[in-house]
Amino acid sequence: MTFIELNNITKKFDFFKALKSISLEIEKDKLLGLIGHNGSGKTTLLRILATLSVPSQGEYLYKGEKIGNLYQLKDQTTLVFQKAKMFNRSVKKNISYGLRTKNLPKSKIEKGVEEGLELIKMQDQAEKNAKKISGGEKQRVALARAFATNPELLLLDEPTSNIDPGNAKIIEDAIKKISDEKDTTVILATHTLFQTKRLSDRTAHLYDGKIVEEGKTEKVFENPKNEKTKKFISGKLIT
Amino acid sequence: MKTVSFFGEGVTEALHLIVTGDPVVFTIALRSIYVSGIATLLASLWSIPVGVHLGLGGFRGVNFLRNLFSSLIGMPTVVLGLIMYLLLTPKGPLGPLNLIYTPLGISLAQSLLITPIIITFTASSIESVENDIRELAITLGASKFKSAITVLKEGINGVILSIVSGFNRAIAELGLALIIGGNIMVENSGLNTRVLTTAINMYTVRGEFNIAIALGIILLLIVLIINALTNTFRREKL
C-alpha cells in the first residue's frame, strides 16, 4: 500500500487555482524534496497534506484511508512553517508542547525534550524565552518541536530560507538524521536546489500549481525530462 | 486663592482620615472593592469564553456580534440602571431574588455593564495573537479546545487588561450603584450598599468636601494600585 496517494488534487482560492490536478505517490520513510519557485503551490500542498486545509477537488489517501476532514491527521503529521512561530515561553516548553498535549508521563516528556535539544544543538539555551532567540535558532526550535512529537509525516516548508549558513547546516544535519534514523516520512519544500540534492531520495518539481516532474533525485537533477525543470535546475527559470 | 485654600484644606483633612484609618472611609472603600470585584468575577465567567470565541472567529455572524458588543460599551448607565431596576424591583420578573438595594444587586448590574468591555477587549487581544499559533498548536497534536487555551495563554496580557478595564469601569460607576443600591448606610447592618462613588456624590451634595475628597483619593489609589500591579505582572510575563 502506498503511504500517501494524491489523485487530481485541486485547490482554489476564489478564482485563483493554487494547485491544478496534482497526482503524486509518496513512499514511506523516504525524504521527498518539493522544489519550485515562490508561488508555485508548495505551501498549499503541504497544508493539504497536514490537513490544515482541504482540497477543492481530488482525493487524498493516507495509508489507504480517504482523508477529507480538516485536522484529521493532526496526530500523525506535523508541519514546520516557513516563518517559525514560537509560543511565548522557554525553548524547553516549546519543544515539549506536542508531548504535553499527548499527556505523556513526565519522564517521557523530559526524554523527548533532551533528544530535541540535542538534535538542534541547543542544550545550553533550554531555559531561554523562545521569542527572544534569533530567527535561525527559532527555526531550529521549530524543527525540534516537530521532531519531538515523533510524527509519521514531517512537513517542512522552506526551513532554511532567510537564515545564516551556520543555522542552516544544523537544520540540514537534523533533517538528515530524522530521515535516516526515524520511521518518519519527510517532505521538504524548498527552492534551494543543493539542499534537495543533498537530502532527498526523490524530488518533485512544482510549477504553476502542477507537478511537472517527479522521480529519483539523481535522475531529476542529472537528466530532467521536463523543459521547465531543466530551466529551473540550470537557474534559467525565474518565474 | 480662596478655592485653592479650600481644596488644600480638604486634601489635608482627607489625608488625615486616610492615615488615621477612619472606619467610615475604609468600610466604604472595602465595600466598593468587594462589590466591583464580585461584578468583575461574574462578568469574566461568561465574557472571557465569549471573547475568546469571537476572537478566534470562523463562524457566521462574528462581525455582527463584535460590532454589537463594542457598541454596547457606550450604553448609558442610567438606562441599564433603569432596566435592571425594573427587573429586580419586588414586582419585577427577578423580584423574588430580593436583589434590589443589596450589594449583590449592584454587583449583578455592574457585571452586565462591563460584559461588553471584557468581551470586546478579550476578542481583540485573541485576534492579535498570530493566526498561525492556533494552527501550530493543532499541527503539534492539540485538540481544538487545547489550541484555543493555547491562544488564550498567548494573549493573556490582553485578557488581563480587559478584566482590569472592566473592574476600573465598575468601581468608578455611579448611576447603577445609586439606582440599584440606593446608597444605604445603617450602622451595624449587613444590608449597607454605600460605595465610594455614591458616597462621594452624597458628601459633595452635602458640602462635606473633606470626606468626599478622601474617598476620591482612595478611589484613585485603588485604580492606580491595581493598574500598577497589573503592569508589573504583564512585564514579568514578557
| A202-207: strand order across its sheet | A77-80, A153-157, A185-190, A31-35, A202-207, A210-216
- For B140, the closest chain A residue by CA position comes to A98
Pairwise CA distance, residues B232 & B226, whole Å: 10
> Judging by DSSP bridges, how do beta strands A153-157 and A65-66 pair with one another?
unpaired
In a domain, B93, yes or no: yes
Long-range contacts of range B85-88, CB-CB < 8 Å, 24 or more positions apart?
A: B85/B179, B85/B180, B88/B180
The reported pLDDT for the residue numbered B3 is 57
Question: Which element (helix H / strand E) includes A153?
Answer: strand A153-157
> Judging by DSSP bridges, how do beta strands A4-13 and A57-62 pair with one another?
antiparallel
Pairwise CA distance, residues A34 & B19, whole Å: 73
In a domain, B220, yes or no: yes
The reported pLDDT for the residue numbered A23 is 97
| Cβ-defined contact of B139 to A74 (cutoff 8 Å) | yes
pLDDT surpasses 70 at B85? yes
A-contacting residues in B 219-238 (Cβ below 8 Å): 237-238
How many Å lie between the alpha carbon of B150 and the closest alpha carbon of chain A?
A: 9
| Contact indicator for A78, A155 with CB cutoff of 8 Å | yes
In a domain, B193, yes or no: yes
| Contact indicator for A122, A91 with CB cutoff of 8 Å | yes
Domain count for chain B, please give it.
1
A-contacting residues in B 120-159 (Cβ below 8 Å): 130, 132-133, 135-144, 146, 150, 153-154
Q: Is B73 on the interface with A (CB under 8 A)?
A: no
Tens digit of each residue's pLDDT (9 = 90 or more) over A164-212: 999 999 999 999 999 999 999 999 999 889 999 999 999 999 999 999 9
Query: By C-alpha distance, which of A120, A183, A176, A118 is closest to A150?
Result: A183
Helix axis angle for B23-56 and B62-72, nearest 10°, is: 160
In a domain, B16, yes or no: no
Pairwise CA distance, residues A61 & A88, whole Å: 36
| Cβ-defined contact of B139 to A102 (cutoff 8 Å) | no
Tens digit of each residue's pLDDT (9 = 90 or more) over B210-232: 889 989 999 999 999 999 998 88
Q: What is the percent of chain B with per-residue pLDDT over 70, rounded to a whole number?
A: 95
Tens digit of each residue's pLDDT (9 = 90 or more) over B34-64: 999 999 999 999 999 999 999 988 789 999 9
Q: Which residues contact B198 (CB under 8 A, 6 or more apart)?
A: B174, B177, B178, B181, B183
> Judging by DSSP bridges, how do beta strands A153-157 and A16-26 pair with one another?
unpaired
* CB-nearest partner of A101 from B135, B142, B237: B142
Query: If DSSP codes are grouped into helix, strand and coil, which group holds residue B2?
Result: helix
Pairwise CA distance, residues A57 & B105, whole Å: 57
Residue B15's pLDDT band, with cuts at 50, 70 and 90, is: confident
Q: Residue written as cell 521527498?
A: A32
In a domain, B19, yes or no: no
| Cβ-defined contact of A75 to B137 (cutoff 8 Å) | no
The reported pLDDT for the residue numbered B211 is 87
| Cβ-defined contact of B139 to A79 (cutoff 8 Å) | yes
Helix axis angle for A135-148 and A91-101, nearest 10°, is: 20
Question: Which element (helix H / strand E) includes A216?
Answer: strand A210-216
Residue B1's pLDDT band, with cuts at 50, 70 and 90, is: very low
Query: By C-alpha distance, which of A101, A77, A100, A97 is closest to A88?
Result: A97
In a domain, B15, yes or no: no
Residue range(s) defining the domain that contains residue B79: 25-237
In a domain, B88, yes or no: yes
CATH code of the domain in which B202 resides: 1.10.3720.10
Long-range contacts of range B64-69, CB-CB < 8 Å, 24 or more positions apart?
A: B66/B120, B66/B123, B69/B115, B69/B116, B69/B119, B69/B120, B69/B123
Contacts of B150 in chain A (CB under 8 A): 87, 97
In a domain, B91, yes or no: yes
Test the A interface: residue of B126, B136, B138, B149 with most A CBs within 10 Å: B136
The reported pLDDT for the residue numbered B237 is 58
pLDDT surpasses 50 at B14? yes
Q: How far is CA B216 from the centre of its chain?
A: 17
Q: How far apart are the first and last CA of chain B?
A: 48
pLDDT surpasses 50 at A42? yes
Query: By C-alpha distance, which of B53, B123, B143, B137 is closest to A85?
Result: B137
Residue B114's pLDDT band, with cuts at 50, 70 and 90, is: very high
The mean of the pLDDT values for chain B is 91
How many Å lie between the alpha carbon of B45 and the closest alpha carbon of chain A?
A: 25
Pairwise CA distance, residues A98 & B137, whole Å: 8
Query: By C-alpha distance, which of B114, B105, B93, B98 is closest to B179?
Result: B105
